[in-house]
Structure 1
Amino acid sequence: MSVRLLYIEDDREIGSFVCKHLEKQGYEVHWVTSGESALKAAAGCKLVILDVMLPGLDGFTVGQRLKKADPAVPILMLSARTSIDDKLQGLQFADDYLTKPFHPDELTARIEVLLRRSGAAGSEPVAVKHLLVYEQQNRVVNSTTGEEITLTGKQFHIFSYLLRHLGQIMTKEQIYEAVWGESFIEGDKTLMVHIRYLREKIELNPAAPEVIETVRGIGYRVRP
């Protein structure tokens, strides 16, 4: 389920922060620091995150070349430039334009929208036990009854995060920080409560869950 993103950013601190955040969301991030590198690295990537201020080739030039090479791949521009002229210049080829500073959750949300529009997030459902999960549509269907299961935004985000790491044991800290974007405080019951309500909706028997497994003392996982 991992989607490969190309991230072009020459600032090491910002680049490292963004990469870590996106990888926590389950994306595979290929980070390069120059426009010249980007043109070679774009193959196989489903979306491009492009900083405007780059050494050598500037972001506008890089973006135009990438779009010409593959018009179907969405480009999200990142820039500290807030003038309308810069935005209009970027949006001549880019699919979205986000100004710095930005909240990482907003970046993730914009990426998800662009991937849904392009169809790159995948329209085929993921089958887990009796469930069919349409990630790009935020839908979960009981394959036995055909009924759609309504989840809250947080419930779907938790389930989607576990699915992106199918078979892996994810710690409570990892899940909480990925979903809430905040540091986990030991003893906080928020995640546990959300998991309980999520199980009540998706498990055939919430008292003996088969979809979301508790790994005592560590966290949770969804078995393939």
Structure 2
Amino acid sequence: MRRLLYIEDDNEIGSWVARDLERRGYAVDWLKSGEGAPERAKEADLVILDVMLPGLDGFTIGQRLKKELPETPILMLSARTSVDDKLQGLQFADDYLTKPFHPDELAARLEVLLRRYGRTGSAELTLGHLTVVPGENRIVDSRTGDEIMLTGKQHQIFMYLLRHPNRILTKEQIYEAVWGEPYLEGDKTLMVHIRYLREKIEIDPGSPTIVETIRGIGYRVKL
């Protein structure tokens, strides 16, 4: 699963970009300033970096990151459209995208950079009797070799849990990440989808070992 470090201080822009990228199968680590970026970047396959940030600006942070982690691609985001700003960014960044942008264009540019740097994300995860290939959106029952076919929402729920391994995620977090709208207390939609998901991926859906229920809170996948 490809991990992105996303540095953006604007809450509105940051939340929709992070949500969109997570729906596309990325694990997104969102920071609102450059503080702690060098350490967090060590775990990332790619860095998305805004220019206008509190404290050190994106140009300064990007130059430091590229010096310390030359094999990690950097994509700059900026509302600045002047040639000088683009040239300054491209002295260290691998690509430069101006705001406003369409999420499909951002995703396409990310894929180009990830392929260029060999970060294809095809590494397999073993989860009990399941073999998961996040980069190919495939889930295989290793006992039989058969591919397990999930519906769109089942797949999004499972991948969202996998992007946050060992963390207890609330019903609200999962619902809002997958459906993109506020969770209403008492809504059984997520619970129904989890039940059908378990029928496909668990050996015994009545005693699940992959998607665990944390009573009164939500769900967790342990790796």
By the TM > 0.5 criterion, same fold? yes
Q: In the TM superposition, what is the alpha-carbon distance from 1:51 to its structure 2 partner?
A: 1.4
Is 1:94 the counterpart of 2:94? The answer is yes
Q: Is the 8 A contact 2:33 2:55 kept in 1?
A: no
Q: In the TM superposition, what is the alpha-carbon distance from 1:173 to its structure 2 partner?
A: 0.7
Q: Is the 8 A contact 2:4 2:47 kept in 1?
A: no
Q: In the TM superposition, what is the alpha-carbon distance from 1:178 to its structure 2 partner?
A: 2.1
- Determine the structure 1 residue equivalent to 2:127: 128
1:36-75 aligned at under 5 Å gives the runs 44-46=42-44, 47-53=46-52, 59=58, 63=62, 66-67=65-66, 70-75=69-74
Q: Is the 8 A contact 2:49 2:58 kept in 1?
A: yes
State how far apart, in whole Å, the 2-side matches of 1:130 and 1:42 are.
31
Q: In the TM superposition, what is the alpha-carbon distance from 1:177 to its structure 2 partner?
A: 1.8
State how far apart, in whole Å, the 2-side matches of 1:218 and 1:106 are.
36
Structure 1 unaligned blocks of 5 or more: none
State how far apart, in whole Å, the 2-side matches of 1:16 and 1:148 are.
35
SS at match of 1:32: coil
- Determine the structure 1 residue equivalent to 2:177: 178
The alignment's TM-score, normalised by the length of structure 2, stands at: 0.68
Q: Is the 8 A contact 2:33 2:54 kept in 1?
A: no
Change (3 A) 1:64 1:135: same
1:4-153 aligned at under 5 Å gives the runs 5=5, 7=7, 9=8, 11=9, 13=11, 27-33=28-34, 44-46=42-44, 47-53=46-52, 59=58, 63=62, 66-67=65-66, 70-81=69-80, 89=87, 93-95=93-95, 97=97, 99-100=99-100, 113=111, 117=115, 118-120=117-119, 122-153=121-152
Q: Is the 8 A contact 1:130 1:143 kept in 2?
A: yes
Q: In the TM superposition, what is the alpha-carbon distance from 1:145 to its structure 2 partner?
A: 0.9
State how far apart, in whole Å, the 1-side matches of 2:76 and 2:2 are.
22
State how far apart, in whole Å, the 2-side matches of 1:98 and 1:205 are.
50
- Determine the structure 1 residue equivalent to 2:217: 218
The C-alpha deviation readout for 1:122-165, integer Å capped at 9, x for no partner, is: 54322111101122222111111111112233322211222233
Q: Is the 8 A contact 1:3 1:121 kept in 2?
A: no
Change (3 A) 1:167 1:59: closer
Q: Is the 8 A contact 1:177 1:184 kept in 2?
A: yes
Q: Is the 8 A contact 2:76 2:96 kept in 1?
A: yes
Q: Is the 8 A contact 1:87 1:97 kept in 2?
A: no
State how far apart, in whole Å, the 1-side matches of 2:156 and 2:90 are.
29
The alignment's TM-score, normalised by the length of structure 1, stands at: 0.68
Q: Is the 8 A contact 1:78 1:100 kept in 2?
A: no
Q: Is the 8 A contact 1:52 1:58 kept in 2?
A: yes
- Determine the structure 1 residue equivalent to 2:159: 160
Structure 2 unaligned blocks of 5 or more: none
Q: Is the 8 A contact 2:18 2:28 kept in 1?
A: no
Change (3 A) 1:143 1:88: same
Q: Is the 8 A contact 1:91 1:97 kept in 2?
A: no
Alignment-mate amino acid for residue 197 of structure 2: L
Alignment-mate amino acid for residue 94 of structure 2: A
Alpha carbon RMSD of aligned pairs, Å?
4.4
